[in-house]
Amino acid sequence: MSIAVRLRTLNVFYFSLFALFISFLPVYASKIGISGTNIGLILGLGSAVCIVSQPVWGIISDKFRTIKKVLLLLFLLSALVGTLLFQSDELWLFTALVVLMNVVFLPSDALMETLNYQTSQREGISFGSIRTFGSMGFSVTSIVAGSLLKWWGIDSLAWIFLTVAVLTFALGLGVRDVPASSKPTAFKHLASFVLQKRTLAFFLLVLIVAIPHKMNDMYIGLYIEELGGNVQWTGFAWFTMTITETLLFAVSARLIKPGREGRVMAIAAGLYVVRFLLSSIADGALMLVLLQVLQGFTFVLFYVGSMQFLYSIVPEQWKSTGQTMLTLLFFGVSGIVGSTAGGWLFDEFGGAVLYRIMTGLALAGFLFSLSVIRRRKETETA
């Protein structure tokens, strides 16, 4: 079995774990009697913890110059903690285990993406041709696991999670570690890179665009209900998003050429403006679901473009840490801001106003991306 096939298979099962955790954690919490308010507070606490834990694992990976071994450790810890989590039935224990999952499971995403990207570069294949299998695993598992839980009951979630986690660890043994940088790690070099104007501008751009993206992830279900839909329509929306992600990841290498990452990020930010503006004037749940077709053209193009942009400016010895910082902003910090601000805006003004504000944020990101592109061109020609 080739290296690429092994990694693609690992992506299927790894992102299946994400589907089990992200999609069904709120459902499980509700079934054991935890209120919606407490669920939101617990998830917010977890995100805050992840902001601290994620960079630590990235730095450990760079310091010891291995991604595979750190991932294998995290896979084992995730299997243990996740299984206990989906067997817990008390608020304090559930909270503690969710926090632990934000220490050992969610931070592994940045390392996994680094493994995907660096392997694609080494093997001469596109990042999207690997990552698309992760989206496939997420979408298929969301449907299959939902049916299994309906037949076997929510209590079976722990054993489904454990089975997938063990398979993920076993598949992880078969992948090849990415080559470690021969350059010594020096924290003063990392600080120098992070504090550069172009680096700060890049990370600010990512954060501005990621906040409305995460707001959509968190509140699309509530907005669908406000427009007359139900939980089934929410399922259709998520299925539509993951399918379009799969397709766009598969062709992303053809769309994002080296040196044009900034332009692609700007186009994606502009499409976010269109997507959220149309969502704000949607007259029914069906229209909102259909608009999720734009997920691939917005999230995938912006995320892959930002990853390639980052790898073009980050020092070799800090690539894992750089990827961790990107993931932290895109899925961590933006999640905290999106959940707190988005929840208040939705409760006070409703979904339409929330999506108009998201449109404004996306527009700000689009305009700022043009500035980032211009500065990069000036730097290259100087």
CATH number of the domain at 217, please. 1.20.1250.20
| Residue 291: pLDDT band with limits 50, 70, 90 | very high
Please report the pLDDT score of residue 109 as a whole number: 87
| Residue 278: pLDDT band with limits 50, 70, 90 | very high
- Please give the residue range of the domain that contains residue 333: 186-382
| CA-derived radius of gyration, the chain | 20
Single out the residue in 150, 176, 202 at which a domain terminates: 176
Q: Is residue 258 part of a domain?
A: yes
| Residue 47 and residue 196 in one domain | no
| Residue 205 and residue 166 in one domain | no
Q: Is residue 164 part of a domain?
A: yes
Instruction: Take residue 108 and report the two structure tokens written for it.
Output: 């592994």
The model's pTM: 0.74
Q: Is residue 181 part of a domain?
A: no
Q: Is residue 374 part of a domain?
A: yes
| Residue 379: pLDDT band with limits 50, 70, 90 | low
| Residue 166 and residue 277 in one domain | no
Please report the pLDDT score of residue 65 as a whole number: 84
| Residue 57 and residue 124 in one domain | yes
Please report the pLDDT score of residue 40 as a whole number: 67
Helices (H), the chain: 3-18, 24-31, 36-64, 68-85, 91-104, 108-123, 127-152, 157-173, 187-194, 197-226, 231-255, 261-280, 285-291, 295, 301-313, 319-327, 334-349, 351-381
**Which is higher by pLDDT, 358 or 57?**
358
| Residue 58 and residue 108 in one domain | yes
- At residue 105, what are phi and psi to the nearest 5 degrees? -105, -60
| Residue 233 and residue 370 in one domain | yes
Single out the residue in 176, 194, 215 at which a domain terminates: 176
CA distance 308 to 313: 9
CA distance 250 to 244: 10
